[in-house]
Every structure is written in C-alpha cells, then in structure tokens.
Amino acid sequence: MAERGVRVDHATIHRWVLEYAPQLEAAFRNGKKRAVDKFGDTIDFMLTEKRDEAAARRFFNKAIGQHGLPDKVVIDKSGSNAAALDTLNWQIWFAGIIGGFIEVLQVKYLNNIVEQSHRAVKWKMRTALGFKSIEGAEVLY
C-alpha cells in the first residue's frame, strides 16, 4: 500500500484479515492439505480470531474430518488445545469407538517441528509488535 502512496491504519488491516481470512483460506486450500505431521509436512490450517477451546475444537474437528483420527497429537502449552483434545476423547469414548483415543503429548522438543513451520510469520510479527504508530512503522521502510 505504501508503494502506491496509500496510508492504511493497522486497525484497518486487522479488520481486513478478519473479513477476508476465510476467503483466503478457501483459495489457498484448493485441494491441498495444509497442522504439521512428524515429517514437517503441513496437514491442515485454520485462521481464527481467538485461540480458545472452541476454536481449537473446530480446528481438530476439521482436520479429523478431512484426514481421519490421529494416534498422537503433539501440542504446545496451550490449555485450549489440551481442553479441546480432552473433549474430543470424551466424545470418542461416548461414541464407543474402540481404540480411538487420541494420545496427547506436550513435549517441548517434539513440538519444534510444528513451531518451525511458521517461523517466518512469527519473525515478521515480532518485528511488528514494536510499532506504536504508523509513523514508526514507516520509518523502517
């Protein structure tokens, strides 16, 4: 936008992300698989406004619906992911699916593969966190 001489407030960009993220997700998916498996390949992704239990449950339901029930899931320290997986395990138990429990692992080093998959995005976000004004952001460019 700056290259074209248009000044845009960061709040406007945030609203655009919330508005157009579902459309972008549909366009990016286009039959491709996007969560990360043990080899570092992306299985699925979901863009949400909040990182709470409901969002985690929606993500896991979406991934399981497309790729089947996993044996193990490695997560970070997020309580929302753990709560969502506990809920899913309860649903599996009530449904009577034999051998269908999902093993939940919170191992710091096993999760490194997952964290590496979005390293570039995290780096860009970290640099943007220091911006307190648009003028401050424009100084870097």
Q: Give pTM, 2 decimals.
A: 0.54
Residue 105: strand pairing partners: 74
Give residue 43's pLDDT: 74
Each as own residue / partner, the long-range contacts of residues 36-40 (CB below 8 Å, 24 or more positions apart, any chain) are 36/113, 36/114, 36/117, 38/113, 39/113, 40/113, 40/116, 40/117
* β partners of residue 42: 36
pLDDT tens per residue, range 37-67: 777 677 777 777 778 899 889 888 888 888 8
Q: Which residue has the higher pLDDT, 92 or 138?
A: 92
The boundaries of the domain holding residue 127 are 2-140
Q: What is the pLDDT of residues 88-110, one digit of tens each?
A: 999 888 888 777 788 988 876 66
Taken in order 133, 127, 125, 13, is the CA torsion positive or negative? positive
- How many independent structural domains does the chain possess? 1
